[in-house]
């Protein structure tokens, strides 16, 4: 029969060897995971090839602008060269606009919820879809395409010059007012609610709107609303518009305490995206896009305060939000330069364009 001393010795050995085994297992597991991680970095799995599931794409509907001649470009990016861009990107379907029998009634309801008299009138007799609505409390008018839902707001400042006597709201308050304004009419979609916003203080000088340095010298604040940036492979891609840095949805807001009456001007150009209907496509290299820019094939969104030579500071992939109906929501390669310069080249390689617009 084993003595108590023998049992104690055996127990201590068992515990000691058990600890050794546990430590060895931990080391082995860590070594295995480290080895697998190093192997995967040295031998990354091949990415899934593009599926081109939406077929041929329609040409991106860039607005018609006069061609700018004799512009030269100088590349000065943080990297000192063109960046390596992602090799493929998704393209999303934009649902078609459907006209319903009660379209006019729906437009009346929107106008009323935006603070305008619902009894609108056609602007031009032979343009049946565009109506004009007048504000019930201010010299503002609402022009709306009752089919697309696109609208603009204008304001007769000469009829209410007292609006210039008050400071505009803070950026946070202005964004809240803008979102609340369209939200009251059921027009604040989730991607607009979660998207970024930008602002700029403006003042009237010589009958024109010019930038103001601070709220204290501003007459208005301009708020731009953008849709939420798409995410692909854990990377967020920004949204750009036809007239950067202006958004497709923007409002000029004054100092009136009434949120509705404080909207002096604005535009709402929004078309939803079907994120469940998409296809991946091969995109151009930065070098190919750079060559197209220098060949005059890019769309110049904003020349900014530049003349014949533009210094390019950033080159990146973004999504172009056209502000008008198009079948697809597509990526572009953006060249952003000094003094608010923006230019775009379609990101998808040329062979996948050619479909006719429906």
Structure tokens at 130: 């565009």
- State the Cα–Cα distance between residues 289 and 349, nearest whole angstrom: 10
CATH topology for the 72-94+276-352 domain = Lipocalin (2.40.128)
| pLDDT tens readout for residues 256-285 | 666 556 899 999 999 999 999 999 999 999
C-alpha pair distances (Å), 154 with each of 5, 143, 265, 338: 97, 8, 5, 31
Quote the pLDDT of residue 160. 78
Mean pLDDT check: name the lowest of 163-172, 235-244, 295-304: 163-172
Q: How far apart are CA 332 and CA 318, in angstroms?
A: 5
Task: Please give the span between the terminal C-alpha atoms of the chain, in angstroms, as a whole number.
Answer: 94
CA angle 298/296/349 to nearest 5° reads 50
Domain boundaries, the chain: 1-43, 72-94+276-352, 103-270
Rounded distance, CA 328 to CA 94, Å? 5
Q: pTM of the prediction?
A: 0.83
pLDDT at 275: 92
How confident is the model over 5-58, as pLDDT tens digits? Answer: 655 666 666 777 677 788 888 888 888 888 777 766 776 667 788 999 999 999
Is the bond preceding residue 245 a cis peptide, omega within 30 degrees?
A: yes
**Residue 167 burial (10 A CB sphere; 0-12, 13-18, 19+):** middle
Task: Count the alpha carbons within 13 Å of 66 in the hemisphere toward its beta carbon.
Answer: 4
Q: What's the whole-number average pLDDT of the chain?
A: 89
Distance CA(27)–CA(93), nearest Å, equals: 50
What distances in angstroms separate CA 200 from CA 128, 210, 219, 348, one per listed residue?
36, 10, 11, 33
Indicate left, alpha or beta for 343 from its phi (over 0: left) and psi (-120 to 50: alpha).
beta
Q: Which residues, in sequence order, are bridge partners of residue 122?
A: 131
């Amino acid at each position: 029969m084993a003595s108590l001393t023998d049992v104690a010795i055996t127990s201590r050995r068992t515990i000691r060897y058990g600890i050794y085994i546990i430590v060895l297992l931990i080391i082995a597991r860590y070594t295995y995971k480290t080895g697998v991680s190093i192997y995967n970095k040295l031998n990354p799995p091949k990415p899934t090839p593009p599926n081109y599931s939406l077929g041929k794409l329609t040409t991106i509907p860039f607005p018609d602008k006069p061609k700018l001649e004799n512009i030269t470009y100088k590349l000065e990016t943080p990297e000192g060269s063109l960046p390596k861009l992602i090799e493929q990107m998704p393209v999303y379907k934009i649902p078609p606009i459907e006209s319903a029998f009660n379209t006019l009634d729906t437009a009346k309801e929107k106008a009323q919820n935006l603070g305008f008299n619902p009894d609108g009138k056609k602007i031009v007799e032979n343009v049946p879809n565009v109506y004009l609505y007048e504000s019930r409390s201010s010299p503002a008018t609402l022009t709306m395409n009752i089919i697309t839902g696109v609208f603009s707001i204008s304001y007769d400042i000469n009829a209410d010059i007292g609006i210039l006597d008050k400071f505009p709201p803070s950026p946070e308050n202005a964004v809240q007012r803008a979102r609340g304004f369209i939200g009251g009419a059921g027009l604040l979609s989730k991607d607009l609610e979660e998207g970024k916003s930008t602002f700029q203080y403006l003042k009237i000088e010589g009958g024109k709107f010019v930038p103001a340095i601070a709220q204290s010298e501003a007459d208005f604040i301009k708020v731009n609303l953008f849709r939420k940036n798409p995410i692909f492979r854990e990377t967020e891609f920004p949204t750009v518009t036809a007239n950067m840095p202006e958004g497709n949805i923007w409002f000029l807001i004054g100092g009136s305490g009434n949120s509705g009456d404080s909207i002096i001007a604005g535009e709402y150009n929004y078309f939803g995206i079907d994120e469940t209907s998409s296809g991946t496509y091969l995109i151009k290299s930065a070098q190919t896009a750079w060559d197209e820019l220098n060949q005059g094939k890019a769309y110049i969104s904003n020349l900014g305060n530049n003349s014949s030579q533009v210094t390019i500071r950033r080159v990146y992939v973004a999504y172009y939000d056209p502000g008008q109906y198009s079948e697809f929501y597509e990526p572009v390669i953006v060249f952003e330069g000094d003094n608010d310069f923006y230019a775009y080249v379609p990101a998808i390689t040329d062979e996948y364009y050619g479909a006719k617009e429906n």
